[in-house]
Copies of this chain bind each other. A is one copy, B any other.
């Protein structure tokens, strides 16, 4: 089982967008450059975030991306769902109904216990992600920001932001 790396990118992007001045935007190319990843591929993930309503996109020379709502209202689950989709990782094939001793439909009124357990585990995972917002992450990360890094960041932002 493997989570798409785009989820990590999306989370970092939301963190970066959350510290922008009000009304400012960043283009996909700049977001990719900032994180050192391929611009075209980053664009694909930004598109997914835009479709999901996590970020809002503007076109034209002054266009770019910004958060669609306050960072305190965007959870890591929102980002994950936007990029990975909402299909569960465990997809029950109901193999208990197959084979020579397969259960008949009447014997399958309740959900398979195995599927139930795996879906419960997935719910726990989701709940854990829903409990963390982009604002939480950035607040935590801010503790590690050195003065030098903040200065570097401000300089970069000067050139990049609209």
Q: Which of A44-52, A54-62, A94-102 contacts B (4 or more CB under 8 A)?
A: A94-102
A135 to chain B, nearest CB (A): 11
Copies of chain A in the complex: 2
How many A residues have CB within 8 A of the partner chain? 68
* Contact stretch, chosen from A21-29, A65-73, A122-130: A122-130
CB-based contact B114/A121 at 8 Å: no
Shortest C-beta distance, A28 to chain B (Å), equals 14
Separation in Å of the A79 CB from the closest CB of chain B? 9
Main secondary structure of the interface of A (DSSP, over half): helix
Chain A residues in the interface with B (C-beta under 8 A): 1-5, 7-9, 11-12, 15, 33-37, 76, 84, 87, 89-93, 95-96, 98-104, 106-110, 112-118, 120-122, 124-129, 132, 136-138, 140-141, 143-146, 149, 152-153, 156
For this complex, 7 residue pairs linking A to B, each with C-beta atoms less than 8 Å apart, are A8-B92, A8-B95, A101-B152, A103-B149, A107-B149, A112-B141, A113-B136
